[in-house]
Every structure is written in structure tokens, then in C-alpha cells.
Structure 1
Amino acid sequence: MEGYMKVGITSAATVVLNVTSLVGMRDELTPEIFNWAFNNPKIIVVGFIHACLFDDIVSHKFEQERGHSTSAVECYIRECGVSEEEACNELKKQVDNVWKDINNEMIFSETSKFVPMSVLTRVLNLTRGTEFMYIAGDGYTHVGKSTKDGIDSLLIDPISISTSGN
């Protein structure tokens, strides 16, 4: 598991996605922020763990059927000698625990003292997006009504928020 996750962190586009999400935040970005983002800060790493494990939990059966490479589920089964159900349950606990790490990084860590909240919120939103894509199954590979309706609700028919108090 440890080796699988290390390879995943370095080979996934996690850092690139997070840095790309910062583009357009001109006034708040400094070379220090980019340096921070490119050095695998905990909030980005745990966001990757969330995405990787959540994806593997919901898609491993389909990916194994099509001869896909090993997933966290198979690694956990082999390493711990447990059933597929037990492996998925344990990995789900790890996914849930990621939120504790993210909350800590956003509120209490040293990072929150020098990285603007708007930057941390972008990183948080990528993890929220992952949660949305995988909460009801593999909404990335098998885009269904739930995924389409959620995207429509967010981007096409958003809720109007009035600040005038009316």
C-alpha cells in the first residue's frame, strides 16, 4: 500500500491540478505560494489520497474486469490478508479521515498562517469535486444522470443568492 500510494502521489497530476486551479488569482499568488504548492504540502497530498482511494473503492471491480493495473483495494487485500469487503471498509475509513486532515490544515496548521484562505479553498474544492464524482459510484468513468444533474445544478441552473436581504 505504501509503495502504491507513493508512486501515485508522484505520478498523478495532483500538484498540476492544484496549481492550475490557482491560475487567475493574480493578487494573492506569490512565488512562495507556488513553491509551497509544488512541494507536496499535506493538504494537497491528503486530497490526492482522498481521490485515489475513493476512485479505487468505487471502480476497482470494473477496472479489474478490463485488465486494469492494481488498485489500492487489491494492494490492501494482499498486504493485510482481508476480504474485498473488509479492504473497502478500511479504505473508506481512510477516505473519511482525510477530511480531518484537510480541516486541520485549513484551520490550525502552519500552512494556514501563510497561505491565503482563498488558495486553501481552491485545494479544498478539488477534493470536494472528487467527493461529488465518486460519492454515488464512478461518476467520472460512467457519467450518469446523477453526475449530469449535479453539474447542471452547479453550472447551468445555480441557486441565485441575493445579498440585498430581499
Structure 2
Amino acid sequence: MKFLYRILFDLNKEIEEEAIKEGIVYVLNYYKNEFILYIQAYMAEARWLNNNYQPTLEEYIRVSTISSGYCLITATCYIGMGNIATEDIFKWLTNKPKVIDVAIVLCRLMDDIVSNEFEQKRDHVSSFLECYMRQYNVSREGAVQEGRKRIVDAWKDINKESLMPTDVPRPFLTHIINLSRFMDVVYKDKDNFTHSEGEMKAFIKALLLDPMKI
């Protein structure tokens, strides 16, 4: 944990130095707030596990959508865009517009469905599937079908939000859409994030080492 803490500390320090250099110090408060929420969500899940607490579906969605890190990653991407990411952009992100909410749900559910069996072989907090099965007294297959239905609905909402006039310039919306596309690659059929030695390794190699000539 000390090793991981040092990596995170160094990363945050680098982000802070770059923000000061770029003259966008205002981003630090928004980034730190998202990071605090992210850690608090993980701590909540740790307490659930240690106390053998089984959260309701609503409790699980509320906490796990934050622990997905989606908002934190998005905020980090925006910081990397330099001073075109005005404070209004970060205020918009903090207020959790619909496109962010549905993109987070998409990420969380796709992850839960493909990683569930592997994660539940060890001590692990309940996923969407366990919470839904318990709350609605349905089979695992029934919970998977509900999760996939919600994923389809999330894609519909993302498409709708991306076609409508938005409160932010297109590049900021594109970041959210592209991250959702990435989640579709990582979690569509199996957990390529945890088991990255197969398809994910091939994808990264194709992108960075053997790019297609255009």
C-alpha cells in the first residue's frame, strides 16, 4: 500500500506542477475533490466487505459508480487539455450532467457482468448482479439480462446526448464518448482489464507498435 501511495502521490504532485505551469490552478480543487470522493467510495466498499454488509441495489449503484473512477479519469483528461478547459467545464463535470451519469453506469455494469465470477471466488463486495438477484429474487441470468438492458439504454442516452446541443464544446463531450467506447472494448465479452495478457495485449500492440498505415 505504501508503494501504491507513493505512485499516486507522485502523480498528483506532477499534475499540480503542470497545472501551475499552465496557469490553470483552479483545476486542482476540482481534481482533489473527485479524488477524495473516489477514495471515500473505496473505503465504503471496504467497510461493507469487512462487516459482511450486503448493500441494497440503490446503495451499491450510488457508491460503485464513484469507485469506478470514471469522473476522476475524465477530470484528469480535461486537465491534460490545458487552458481550454475553463473552470466552467469543471463545474459542468462536477454537476454530473446526464451524459456522464449514463456513461458511468455503462462502465460499472459492463465491468460487473464480465468480472463477476472471477471476483466472487475471493472475498469481494457484492456486485450489481448479487444486489439485483437479492433485491428482486431473480436468477443470475435474470440479473445479467437486466444489466445488459441497462447498458443498451445507457448507449441510447449517450447517443442522444451527443447529438443534442450541449453546454460544453464538442471536444469535452468526445472525451466522455471515447472513454465509453474504450469500456466497450475492455469489457464487452470478458474482463480484458484484469486478464490483459490476451486480447488487450494484442489491441495495445496493434495501436502502439504495429499501427495501420493510412
TM-score band, normalised by shorter chain: 0.7 to 0.9
Whether the 8 Å CA contact 2:115–2:191 is kept in 1: the answer is yes
Aligned pairs for 1:9-48 (under 5 A) are: 9-26=65-82, 28-48=84-104
TM-score where L is the length of structure 2: 0.69
Matched, 1:114 2:167: yes
* Aligned with 2:186 (options 108, 123, 133): 133
Counterpart CA distance in 1 for 2:197 and 2:68 is 25
- Answer whether contact 2:162 2:173 (CA < 8 A) is retained: yes
Q: Deviations over 1:126-152 (max 9, x none)?
A: 111111111130111111321111122
Residue aligning to 1:4:
60
Q: CA RMSD in A?
A: 1.5
**Aligned equivalents of 1:141, 1:102: Cα separation in 2:** 26
Q: Taking CA–CA contacts closer than 8 Å with sequence separation of 6 or more, which of the two structures ends up with the larger relative contact order?
A: 1
Query: What CA distance in whole angstroms lies between the structure 2 residues aligned with 1:49 and 1:155?
Result: 29
TM-fit CA distance, 1:25? 2.0
> Following TM superposition, by how much is the alpha carbon of 1:27 offset from its aligned partner in structure 2, in angstroms?
5.2
SS at match of 1:144: coil
TM-score, normalisation: structure 1: 0.88
Question: What corresponds to 2:10 in structure 1?
Answer: none
Q: Secondary structure at the match of 1:140?
A: coil
How many residues are treated as equivalent by the alignment?
A: 158
Structure 1: how far apart are the matches of 2:170 and 2:207? Answer: 22
Paired AA for residue 108 in structure 2: C
Q: Structure 1: state its 5+ residue gaps.
A: 162-166
Distance, in Å, in 2 between the alignment partners of 1:84 and 1:19 is 34
**Counterpart in the other structure of 2:150:** 94
Counterpart position of 2:204: 151
Gaps of 5+ in 2: 1-56
C-alpha contact 1:18 1:44 (8 A) present in aligned 2:
no
